[in-house]
Each structure stands twice: as C-alpha cells, then as structure tokens.
Amino acid sequence: MNLVLPTHAVRVASNVAWRSVALRGWGRLGSAPCQAARPERLREVADALLAEGGRNLIAHGGGRSYGDAGLNGGGAAVLTARLNRMLAFDAETGVLVAEPGVTFADIIAAFLPRGWLPPTPPGTAFATLGGAVANDVHGKNQHAAGCLGHHLEWLDLTLADGTTRRLSPTGDAEAFQATIGGIGLTGIITAVALRLLRVPSNAMVVRRRRIAGLEEYLEAFRTARDASWSVGWIDALAGGATLGRGVLETAEHATESVAIPAAGTRRMPFDAPGFLLNPLSIRAFNAAYWRRVPAGGDEQVMHANRFLFPLDGIGAWNRLYGWRGFHQFQCVLPEAEAPRGLRLLLEAVGQAGAASFLAVLKWMGRPGVGMLSFAQPGFTLALDIPARPASRALLLRLERITRDHGGRIYLAKDSALSPQGMAEMYPRLADFQRVRARLDPQGRLSSDMSRRLGLG
C-alpha cells in the first residue's frame, strides 16, 4: 500500500518529517520516487517506523549499492547517513561501537592514524556501516579475513514495530544471521559493534604483476594465498589467447607510515557523452592500463586508501557511463568450476561487445555468516555493463552461466537477477524468510529489490 502524503511534506509522528525524493542506485539505472525521512536522532528511527501510513519502508545508507537494494519506489525510505556518530571504542579489543551512518572513510580518518583499519573495507570508503552489514561486504582480504559479519560483536536492530533488539551470535543468533546480508529486510540497524583490525602503519607495500591469461590468473591467486591483500584487474575486452589478461595486485602492511595524500578529488562534472564509451576507446584504456605495469612487475609503497579505494579519487565516476547508467554484475563461482565458468562469462561479455572498464577478479576463502551472505569459497568476478537495449539479454546469459556452474550473484551489485535464480543460488532463503516473518509479521520492510526477487 502506498503512502498517502502530499507532495512536499507533512509531519507525521512526533518528530519525523517526510519529503518526496527520487533515490537512485550507484548504477543510475533509473530513479525511485519515494517519501523519505532523514533521522538525525536515534529515536527518530523508531518514530519513522511507527509513522502512520508508513507501511512499506526500507533503509538507505550511502547509496553505493549499484542496483535496487536500497530503493523503494512508491513507498518510504529512511535515510540513515546522518546517524553517524561513533559512540565507544575499546583500545584493548579494538571494538568500535558506532551508528549506522558512519562510513569506512570516517573510521579510517579517525582510527588509521592510531593503527586501526576497518576489518573488511569494500572498494569504496563511502559505504556506511549499516549498508555494509546489510550486504555483508568483503574486501581485498576476503580470502583471509572473511566478510564484515565475521567481525561483528553485536548489532542493534529496530524492528518494524519500533522496538529495538540487540542481536549477536549468542543473542537471537538467527535474527543476527538474517540481518547480516539481509539487504535491510529485517529492520533498521541503529548501532554496530565492530572489531577493527590492528595495523602497523597507514601504508601498504603493493606488488603488481602482469598476468597473460585466465589460467595463469587462477594459479597466481593460489600462489598468492598467503598475501594479506590481493585483487586482480581484468581487461574484460581482451579475447582469444589473451582472455583473462590483467594485473594482479598483492599487498602487505608497511612498517612505516607515509604522508597522508592531499584530500582533493577530481569529479565527473557531467554525464559522459555516449561516444566516449565505445568499445574502441575502452579497449584502448584497458590495454594502456595493462601496459603501464612493467613486464617484470613493480612494487610501490602507498597510503592504504590508494590501494583500498582506487575509484574514490574520482568523485561521481559513475557518470562515466552516461545518462543511461550501467549495471554491475558480480558473481562467485566455486573453485572447481571457476576455470570453465569464468571463461564462459568473459566470452559472453566479449561477444556482446559490452564495453566494461576494468573488471575485478578476486579469490574468496570463507563463506559469510549471514543467511543471504554472498561470499563462498571460490573466485569472484565483477564487471560493469553499460545500460543498452541488449544488456538485459546479456545479464540473463551471465545469470544462466553462473547457475550452471554452482555460482551466486551478489545482491549489492545486482539489478537483474530472477526470482528463480535467487532461490537456487541462496539455499538459506527459506530460513531467511521465516525469520523475517517473525521479526516483521506485517511485511512492512520491503524494497524494489525484494519485490523483484519475489521476496515480498
């Protein structure tokens, strides 16, 4: 049921002001008009959930999910980015208690100088903790460190009825596991207790080497299994003998710190015009990226931010793909299936001529603790697919290949997965739906994504 609210705003419950906004995912595929509240005080979260007519609602954090996980067209959204206070830190255990709107960038700014890093930083520092829990995010250390959920002491979750519960591995473990990776569908996370990672400096020693093709890539990742951090960039447009060509980066923490890089970022001031995005220009860009690395590899000491968040230096880079926006596709395939499956995925993208800038390949070690956690042991591939009339068909093909190889698609990135695919890829879906029905019996938490995936 839709909210009945006038165009601008009214005050509903005690302190909650709503206004109409159009929210978009990071892929800018379309905009979802909804009524939004933007609490700045803890109690306003419960007020928003209790608001009269606030039937159908989802939390929205930093808006860094590519698809529709944080969107709720025609319904309501609770923007949690302004609940962004750090509440407590224990220097013995490294446990930080913070509100959900605190970002990885906030944590790094405050704690990296003191020798602490968020345990599993995703590829952007602008993700919020609430959003990161809800997708159980992973970093370039997934093979060793697992996902965010492995590093949580507890969570405070405000339920649809306005009550708040503290969830942990020992306190309603089921609800804890449903909320980690639960794409916002169990309630609104209002506090997170997270164990930070002790690091010796703010810097990393990053080794880069060229990889000629897919087989060599998978082998290189296995050889690099002891590296603390590793990530591979793939030229998704290289085909034939060079299919899977790329650059593997591995990193260790440096013993000495480096100067903090200047804060200034470049920004995409407008949507890139379509002609910049033809396969030729992207092919040239990707090839240049590959060649920039010397044949014998290289080694550089850099600030952790530069290694962890290479794209954050260019503000609004998502406008690079033009006004039509883009899909991102990320899947993980079990190790045994990876050589064949990855080849088929890359070939499909190549045949479709879908112009993806650098794609990312990564090795995963530990499955996530959430019922809908994405991570499972194997290889994960992520690539951009500019929105074109033909891109739906391509995404369908990629889903098929993923299913055929026992793989799974990442909801944080997704905009196209089918309900059948979802059910097949996420075997604990039924458990998740059961816990959700207990926590939110009236089904008030719902999003464009949950409806698309047939989860209600």
Contact residues for another protein (CB under 8 A)? 8-11, 17-19, 38, 40-43, 82, 85-89, 99, 106, 109-110
Any contact of residue 64 with ligand FAD (CB under 6 A)?
Answer: yes
Options 62-70, 199-207, 247-255, 280-288: segment touching ligand FAD (CB under 6 A): 62-70
Rule CB under 6 A: choose which of 105, 189, 358, 435 binds ligand FAD. 189
Residue 97's H or E segment, with its range, is: strand 95-98
The residue among 140, 302, 289, 298 whose CA lies nearest residue 209 is 298
C-alpha to C-alpha distance for 359 and 383, rounded to whole angstroms: 5
Name which of 10 and 280 has its Cβ closer to another protein: 10
Residue 364's H or E segment, with its range, is: strand 359-364
In this structure, what DSSP letter does residue 65 have? -
- Which residues are paired to 329 by β-bridges? 383
Name which of 82 and 434 has its Cβ closer to ligand FAD: 82
Any contact of residue 159 with ligand FAD (CB under 6 A)?
Answer: no
C-alpha to C-alpha distance for 30 and 324, rounded to whole angstroms: 8
- What is the side-by-side strand order in the sheet with 76-79? 18-23, 32-37, 76-79, 57-60
The residue among 367, 411, 453, 407 whose CA lies nearest residue 131 is 411
Rule CB under 6 A: choose which of 70, 146, 246, 378 binds ligand FAD. 70
Rule CB under 6 A: choose which of 127, 234, 248, 394 binds ligand FAD. 127
Pick from another protein, ligand FAD, none: which does 69 bind, CB < 5 to 8 A by kind?
Answer: ligand FAD
Pick from ligand FAD, another protein, none: which does 9 bind, CB < 5 to 8 A by kind?
Answer: another protein
In this structure, what DSSP letter does residue 108 have? H
Name which of 41 and 267 has its Cβ closer to another protein: 41
C-alpha to C-alpha distance for 223 and 221, rounded to whole angstroms: 5
Please count the other Cβ atoms lying within 10 Å of the Cβ belonging to residue 346: 25
Pick from another protein, ligand FAD, none: which does 188 bind, CB < 5 to 8 A by kind?
Answer: ligand FAD
φ/ψ (deg, to 5) at 386: -55, 140
C-alpha to C-alpha distance for 411 and 65, rounded to whole angstroms: 8
C-alpha to C-alpha distance for 431 and 93, rounded to whole angstroms: 32
C-alpha to C-alpha distance for 163 and 188, rounded to whole angstroms: 10
Give min distance, CB of 329 to ligand FAD, in A.
13
Any contact of residue 130 with ligand FAD (CB under 6 A)?
Answer: yes
Q: How many residues does the chain have?
A: 456
Rule CB under 6 A: choose which of 39, 54, 63, 322 binds ligand FAD. 63
- Positions 358 through 417 that interact with ligand FAD (CB under 6 A): 412
- Positions 199 through 218 that interact with ligand FAD (CB under 6 A): none
Options 105-113, 134-142, 218-226, 394-402: segment touching ligand FAD (CB under 6 A): 134-142
The residue type found at 307 is F
Rule CB under 6 A: choose which of 12, 48, 132, 387 binds ligand FAD. 132
441 Cβ neighbours under 8 A, 6+ residues apart: none
Rule CB under 6 A: choose which of 138, 151, 327, 388 binds ligand FAD. 138
- Positions 90 through 109 that interact with ligand FAD (CB under 6 A): 100
- Positions 407 through 446 that interact with ligand FAD (CB under 6 A): 412
The tokens describing 438, both together, are: 């207990």
Name which of 17 and 311 has its Cβ closer to another protein: 17
C-alpha to C-alpha distance for 404 and 436, rounded to whole angstroms: 29
Any contact of residue 65 with ligand FAD (CB under 6 A)?
Answer: yes
Name which of 21 and 212 has its Cβ closer to another protein: 21
Reported in sequence order, the residue ranges of 325-419 that DSSP labels E, i.e. its strands, are 326-333, 359-364, 378-386, 408-409
Rule CB under 6 A: choose which of 35, 48, 49, 61 binds ligand FAD. 61
How many residues form the binding site for ligand FAD (CB under 6 A)?
A: 32
Tell me how far apart the terminal alpha carbons of the chain are, to the nearest angstrom: 12
Rule CB under 6 A: choose which of 35, 56, 124, 373 binds ligand FAD. 124
- Interface residues toward ligand FAD, by CB under 6 A: 26, 58-65, 69-70, 80, 100, 122-124, 127-128, 130-132, 134-135, 137-139, 183-184, 188-189, 311, 412
